[in-house]
């Protein structure tokens, strides 16, 4: 069965083999709640940023929609050339919505993001029906592709005008078609295919970065979009009723507090559960709410009174539930890294979003702390998890929310000796430092001192963050990232820096100024006693490149002088934005894993001879049925003579792959891992228990995965979500995310309580 055939089956649009009746998939609960409306509250006359600043502090709402709108200053070159289709209502190729700058969202989105709001960037283009039918234009079906290309360039120029460093954000093109929904081959799909393809290329001109492809569409339309763009991020639009949002006990019925674990209320409750997106969708817009929010005269309304809103309320909202806090850069919490260099047990770092402190104002260094990621370190003993330790940064430094956590363990001479373990992440500067030479720094946690230390280097990493860390010697670290090309801010280079003797080198481009794809990930691995190898997807003047290796021989001078080596002949079989993972089972071999364009895992084996003898193989059964989520995290480890790989399947559960390296050729077995039981726990866990059975939890398919070993047992760690969770420590609801652990031998799933 093809990936599209499987998706049609999963969505209940086609019968599975042997089934008489199609069936929809089981939906997962969303962990985060958000809102959108046509106009920013108070806009256009008085955009009420103060109300938006107060709202997260008095609700469990954490992200908001932002409609892309731009006037003629953001029109792309050639928009008025002869023969270009025109919408008579706007005198341009663009929809009325996309040029309506009175909405107020994009002019203020930088402040909203600094306040801690995640963002859904929506471009309201053309549909067959809806408010902006393509029939409004004078375009023929043969011109739909040209129209889509211009609209995508318009979207990129709007984003670039707002913030040059929104590169790589997901832009969701809006589709309003329900009956009939667009299908593969329909003329309108020529418009969307061109839009989504152009969106993912830099330009027009220099300095304008690419954006990732997203679509806001009803579930019936999803197969057509995913068929044209297998890496697309889908925002699911339910056929939503107008209904009152439910709330957990003790919070009343005020629509600023929502409980995504409860069914909807009202006449349409039977057909609308609150916030249950399919795993293939990052989120679900699940209902409309025309009345004011909060309820007039409610306690929440009194807390949201501003000069522009003396009643503390605004009306006409849509509500959504998501697997992530920030759908512009979707990554679920907790971010996690598991360092396995300690034979007594792994060192586990978990990172959670922490809102701004009361009174914080973006751009003012003296009014509290900005939104940030706080990291706890979990240590273990030979028998059980022992402790959770918060590890703060030095004063004035803050980890960026949802920044990646990457680990490395220093090599040791004796396998029974504890190694130094390191975790790296990204530090955003204090507000007063805005405009410095670089716009960020990296910090490294050392488990021998339990401290974070910033590199002190002003760096400018790509906003779509990526990071790889390697430890080549007991006091030697190599850090790799994507940096801006100084000659064109819309292009990116592979960059790196090294710490030796406690001192970091200045960042430097690597691999002969290797250009990297705007969405490419990094992976790094130490080939014991031989080299440190890093991998990425390259970018050439002609467009997307291939999986590429840059190698640094141990003991040689830094930075590496070797040119980059392509590991594929091209075109690449990998999705350009795939997550990458690398592992070295022995000094003569490195294996790199990524997601293919067919949504199956692929791996490259690189022997001691190097890239010239690399081989590319499908990781799985090869039957075309073991598809993975295109955005899945990847985890790899060596277990005896086997290489273990973990990824999220496209239907949600974790799939485990075991490569037998003793077989010739290597053989693979796959297992779809059953999730935690969805029955209530037999007994409530104690408030002092660090771990508890993970009843009613779900591994978050948009979250990290990692392996760790203790007492000879391999464990899998995953980000977990449970919207019904009430912390036994605080007794409050709303802490809906936590770290999960599974023993590969026989289970069970455990949750690390917060």
pLDDT in tens, 662-703: 888 899 999 999 889 887 777 777 767 788 889 888 999 999
Instruction: Identify whether the C-beta of residue 431 lies closer than 8 Å to the C-beta of residue 363.
Output: yes
The answer to the question of residue 531 being in a domain is no
Predicted pLDDT at 607: 86
State the pairing for strand pair 488-500/476-485.
antiparallel
Q: Is the model's pLDDT at 161 over the cut of 80?
A: yes
- pLDDT grade, residue 624 (50/70/90)? low
CATH number at residue 95: 3.20.20.80
What pLDDT was estimated at residue 43?
A: 96
In a domain, 118, yes or no: yes
Mean pLDDT lowest among 35-49, 96-110, 600-614: 600-614
- Over residues 723-738, the pLDDT tens digits come to 766 555 444 444 578 9
- DSSP for 613-651 reads G-EEEEES-SSS---B-TT--EEEEEETTEEEEEEEBTT
| Domain residue limits at 157 | 27-322
237 found inside a domain: yes
Alpha carbons 518 and 521: distance in angstroms, whole number: 9
* Residue 230 domain-assigned (yes or no): yes
pLDDT exceeds cutoff 80 at 564: yes
- What is the token pair recorded at 352? 């959670």
User: Which among 739, 676, 663 has a CA at the least distance from the CA of 706?
Assistant: 739
Answer whether residue 504 is part of any domain: no
Higher model confidence: residue 497 or residue 360?
A: 497
Tokens (6 digits) for 81 = 């050339």
The dihedral sign for the CA sequence 107, 108, 111, 112: negative
Nearby residues of 35 by Cβ (< 8 Å), 6 or more positions away: 61, 63, 64, 65, 293, 317, 318, 319, 320
Structure tokens at 554: 């141990």
SS (HEC) of 543-562: EEEEEEEEEEECCCCCCCCC
Question: Rounded mean pLDDT of 14-31?
Answer: 45
Q: Is 288 helix (H, G, I), strand (E, B) or coil?
A: strand
The DSSP string of 317-386 is EEEEEESSS-TTS--PSSEEEEE---TT--EEEEEEEEPPPTT--TT-TTS-PPSEEEEEEEEE-SSSEE
Angle between helices 144-162 and 105-115 (to 10 degrees): 50
What's the confidence (pLDDT) of residue 289? Answer: 81
Under the banding of pLDDT at 50, 70 and 90, the label for residue 273 is: very low
Q: What H or E segment, with its residue span, contains residue 454?
A: strand 451-454
Burial of 268 (0-12, 13-18, 19+ CB in 10 A): middle
**Tally of structural domains, the chain:** 1
pLDDT at position 140: 95
Instruction: Please indicate, yes or no, if residue 383 is contained in any of the structural domains.
Output: no
Query: What's the confidence (pLDDT) of residue 523?
Result: 96
Bond before 484 cis per omega within 30 degrees: no
Taking 80 as the threshold, does the pLDDT of residue 537 lie above it? Answer: yes
Would you say residue 92 lies in a domain? yes
- Would residue 167 count as lying in a domain? yes
| HEC string for 509-524 | ECCCCCEECCCCCCEE
Pairing between strand 406-409 and 398-399? unpaired
Distances, alpha carbon 669 to alpha carbons 270, 623, 655, 657, in Å: 41, 13, 10, 6
> Over 90: is that where the pLDDT of 389 sits?
no
Residue 168 and residue 462 in contact, taking contact as beta carbons nearer than 8 Å: yes
Entry pTM:
0.92
**Taking residues 168-178, what's their average pLDDT?**
93
Compute the distance between CA of residue 100 and CA of residue 463 in angstroms, rounded to an integer: 27
């Amino acid at each position: 069965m093809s990936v599209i055939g499987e998706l049609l089956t999963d969505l209940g649009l086609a019968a599975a083999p042997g089934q008489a009746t199609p069936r929809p998939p089981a939906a997962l609960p969303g962990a985060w709640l958000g809102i959108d409306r046509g106009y920013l509250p108070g806009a256009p006359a008085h955009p009420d940023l103060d109300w938006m600043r107060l709202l997260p502090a008095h609700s469990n709402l954490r992200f908001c929609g932002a409609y892309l709108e731009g006037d003629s200053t953001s029109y792309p070159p050639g928009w008025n050339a002869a023969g270009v289709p025109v919408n008579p209502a706007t005198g341009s190729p663009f929809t009325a919505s996309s040029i309506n700058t009175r909405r107020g969202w994009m002019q203020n989105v930088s402040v909203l993001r600094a306040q801690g709001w995640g963002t859904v960037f929506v471009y309201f283009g053309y549909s067959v029906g809806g408010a902006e039918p393509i029939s409004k234009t004078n375009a023929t079906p043969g011109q739909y592709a040209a129209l889509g290309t211009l609209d995508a360039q318009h979207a990129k120029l709007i984003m670039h005008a707002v913030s040059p460093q929104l590169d790589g954000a997901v832009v969701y093109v809006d589709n309003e078609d329900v009956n009939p929904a667009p299908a593969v081959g329909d003329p309108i799909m020529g418009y969307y295919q061109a839009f989504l393809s152009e969106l993912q290329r830099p330009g027009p001109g220099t300095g304008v970065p690419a954006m990732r492809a997203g679509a806001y569409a009803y579930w019936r339309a999803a197969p057509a979009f995913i068929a044209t763009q297998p890496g697309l991020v889908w925002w699911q639009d339910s056929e939503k009723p107008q209904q009152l949002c439910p709330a957990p006990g003790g919070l009343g019925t005020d629509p600023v507090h929502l409980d995504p674990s409860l069914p909807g209320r009202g006449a349409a409750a039977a057909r609308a559960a609150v916030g249950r997106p399919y795993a293939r969708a990052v989120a679900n817009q699940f209902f409309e709410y025309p009345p004011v929010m909060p309820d007039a005269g409610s306690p929440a309304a009194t807390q949201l009174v501003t000069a522009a809103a003396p009643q503390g309320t605004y009306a006409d909202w849509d509500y959504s539930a998501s697997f992530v806090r920030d759908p512009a850069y979707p990554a679920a919490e907790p971010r996690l890294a598991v360092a396995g260099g300690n034979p007594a047990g792994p060192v586990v770092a978990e990172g959670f979003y922490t809102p701004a402190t009361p009174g914080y104002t973006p751009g003012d260094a003296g009014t509290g702390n900005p939104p940030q990621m706080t990291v706890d370190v979990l240590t273990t003993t030979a028998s059980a998890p022992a402790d959770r330790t918060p590890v703060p940064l030095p004063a004035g430094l803050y980890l960026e929310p949802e920044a990646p956590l990457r680990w490395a363990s220093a090599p040791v001479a004796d396998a029974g000796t504890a190694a130094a373990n390191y975790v790296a992440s990204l530090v955003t500067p204090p507000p007063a430092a805005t405009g410095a030479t670089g716009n960020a720094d990296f910090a490294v946690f050392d488990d021998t001192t339990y401290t974070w230390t910033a590199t002190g280097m002003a760096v400018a990493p790509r906003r779509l963050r990526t990071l790889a860390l390697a430890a080549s010697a007991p006091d030697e670290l190599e850090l790799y990232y994507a940096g801006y090309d100084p000659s064109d801010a819309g292009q990116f280079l592979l960059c790196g820096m090294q710490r030796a003797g406690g001192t970091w080198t200045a960042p430097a481009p690597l691999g002969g100024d290797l250009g990297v794809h705007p969405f490419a990930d990094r992976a790094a691995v130490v080939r014991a006693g031989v080299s440190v190898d890093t991998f990425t997807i390259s970018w050439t003047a002609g467009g997307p490149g291939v999986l590429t290796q840059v190698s640094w021989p141990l003991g040689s001078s830094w930075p590496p002088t070797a040119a980059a080596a392509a590991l594929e002949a091209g075109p690449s079989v990998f999705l350009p934005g795939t997550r990458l993972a690398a592992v070295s089972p022995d000094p003569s071999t490195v294996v790199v894993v990524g997601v293919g364009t067919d949504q199956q895992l692929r791996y490259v084996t690189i022997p001691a001879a190097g890239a010239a003898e690399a081989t590319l193989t499908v990781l799985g059964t090869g039957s075309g049925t073991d598809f993975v989520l295109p955005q899945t995290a990847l985890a790899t480890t060596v277990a005896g003579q086997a290489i273990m790989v973990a990824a999220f399947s496209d239907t949600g559960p974790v799939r485990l792959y075991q490569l037998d390296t003793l077989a010739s050729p290597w053989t693979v077995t796959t297992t779809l891992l059953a999730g935690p039981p969805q029955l209530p726990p037999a007994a409530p866990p104690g408030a002092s228990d660090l771990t508890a059975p993970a009843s009613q939890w779900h591994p978050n398919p948009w979250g990290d995965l990692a392996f760790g070993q203790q007492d000879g047992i391999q464990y899998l760690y995953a980000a977990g979500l449970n919207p019904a969770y009430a912390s036994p420590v605080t007794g409050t609801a709303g802490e809906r995310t936590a770290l999960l652990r599974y023993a590969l031998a026989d289970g069970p799933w455990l949750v690390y309580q917060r």
